[in-house]
Amino acid sequence: REHRAYAFLARCCLSTTAGDCISEAIIASSTDNYPEESICNTLEPRDRVARTASYWSSKGQKNPAVPETLTYRLIADLCVVTEIKIRPFQAYFQFGYPIYSAKSVRFRMGHIKDADESCQDSGTDRFAWTYTSQEFEMAQVSSNSWFPFALIYLIDLSLSLLQSDPVILPAFIAYTE
């Protein structure tokens, strides 16, 4: 039985191709104007789609220390994530073309605690977070910011071989304007 598990793990690692690991946007901690500024817009790599701006906007907070979060489902039970890229939105339709960017970001990876629950239910407390990254500063520019992850991981197979419904949660910390 262990041999089959190791063979499955090796096959998954060797048969992957570089690409987007996100299959769907699950939930945002807040959205200013739904659906025009929804989390679904973050899956689109372009700033404009059919002459319309494509971006996510939170409702915003009076306290900049309150984090905003976006939660996504990954495409498979096993994904090797080596980097994540984020591009802040530049409001080309506002005076001065302001860039709306987080001050910093942190990433969490995990799975649904209860397999009978839906990912679409509100809140992130339904997830067991098995990895939390360090906090990364965001460049205040309207281009991709790359966040690399270590290329060497220790996988302790005595703990658990597979988790169902893998998800990723980037935590956007302290918005600036």
Domains and CATH numbers, the chain: 18-27+64-176 (2.60.120)
- Exposure class string for 102-121: b at 16+ Cβ within 10 A, else e: beebbbbbbbbeeeeeeeee
- Supply the pLDDT for residue 110: 86
pTM score, two decimals? 0.73
- Supply the pLDDT for residue 1: 65
- Supply the pLDDT for residue 168: 52
- Supply the pLDDT for residue 124: 66
- Supply the pLDDT for residue 155: 46
- Supply the pLDDT for residue 176: 37
Q: What is the mean pLDDT of each run of 10 residues along the chain (177 residues)?
A: 71 64 88 91 81 84 84 82 84 89 87 68 74 85 79 46 48 42
- Left, alpha or beta for 8 (phi > 0: left; psi -120 to 50: alpha)? alpha
